[in-house]
Every structure is written in C-alpha cells, then in structure tokens.
C-alpha cells in the first residue's frame, strides 16, 4: 500500500509541476489542482497508512493503538476547503485575464 501511495503522490506532483510550468493559464490551474491533490494525499499519509481503524474515540477507554490519527484527517479537510476556495478564485481571475488581455497566456501576451 505504501508503494502505491507514494507512486500516486509522485505521479500527481510530477504532472502538477510540469503543468504549472506551461504557458497557458488553464494548464497552470490544472497543475495546481493536481499538486494540491498530491499534497492532500501527503498530509493524509502523515497520519500513517492504516486500515480498519476509526479516528473516533468511543465511550469506553480504548487502546490508542486501535485508532487512526484524527489530526491529519482534520488537517486535510481544512486544506481541501481552503484549496477549493482559492482555486475557485483563481478560475475567476483566469477568466477575467482572458477577457481583459484577449489571450490565455500567463504573461497576458503571446511570446514572440
């Protein structure tokens, strides 16, 4: 599972960085989205990869080893929400830039 997880993060961030460096705004935003997926997975992985354990403490005292770490799950939720909001804002800016400059190049003009 760890290998699969690591490869997934690697592929996502590799593609994300490549797209981020492209000159078209749409590629940049897709790259950012892929990178944020990679980062979210990474945060999630920082709570250690386990299966069959709930991140919720029950009513009775329980063995901590039988629980998943709830903190990274809370962090990843926050990160997803914030990333979602900022990406939505960036989409609006991207549309406005396209409308104002007439090109979808990130510099607002085509490279010669």
- The DSSP H or E segment spanning 39 is helix 25-45
C-alpha span between 26 and 47 (Å, rounded): 33
Determine which residue in the list 18, 53, 77, 78 makes contact with other proteins, applying CB under 8 A: 78
CB of 36 to other proteins, least distance (A): 6
- Does position 11 interact with other proteins (CB under 8 A)? The reply is no
Question: Where does this chain touch other proteins (CB under 8 A) — which range of 49-57, 58-66, 72-80?
Answer: 72-80
- Whether the Cβ atoms of residue 98 and residue 26 lie closer than 8 Å to each other: no
Report residue 83 as tokens. Answer: 């990333």
Determine which residue in the list 10, 18, 85, 110 makes contact with other proteins, applying CB under 8 A: 85
C-alpha span between 29 and 35 (Å, rounded): 10
C-alpha span between 45 and 94 (Å, rounded): 32
- Does position 39 interact with other proteins (CB under 8 A)? The reply is yes
Determine which residue in the list 5, 6, 8, 20 makes contact with other proteins, applying CB under 8 A: 20
- Does position 19 interact with other proteins (CB under 8 A)? The reply is no
Report residue 35 as tokens. Answer: 């990178």
Q: Please, how many CA atoms are within 13 Å of residue 25, restricted to the half-sphere of its CB?
A: 21
The residue ranges that bind other proteins (CB under 8 A) are 20, 25, 28, 32, 35-36, 39, 42-43, 45-48, 71-72, 75, 78-79, 82, 85-87, 89-90, 93-102, 106-108
């Amino acid at each position: 599972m760890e290998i699969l997880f690591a490869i997934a993060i690697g592929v996502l961030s590799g593609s994300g960085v490549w797209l981020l460096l492209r000159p078209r705004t749409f590629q940049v935003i897709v790259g950012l989205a892929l990178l944020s997926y990679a980062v979210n997975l990474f945060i999630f992985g920082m709570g250690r990869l386990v299966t069959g354990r709930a991140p919720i403490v029950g009513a009775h005292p329980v063995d901590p080893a039988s629980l998943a770490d709830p903190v990274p799950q809370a962090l990843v939720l926050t990160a997803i929400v914030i990333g979602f909001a900022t990406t939505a804002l960036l989409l609006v800016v991207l549309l406005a830039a396209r409308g104002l400059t007439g090109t979808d190049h990130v510099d607002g003009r085509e490279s010669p």
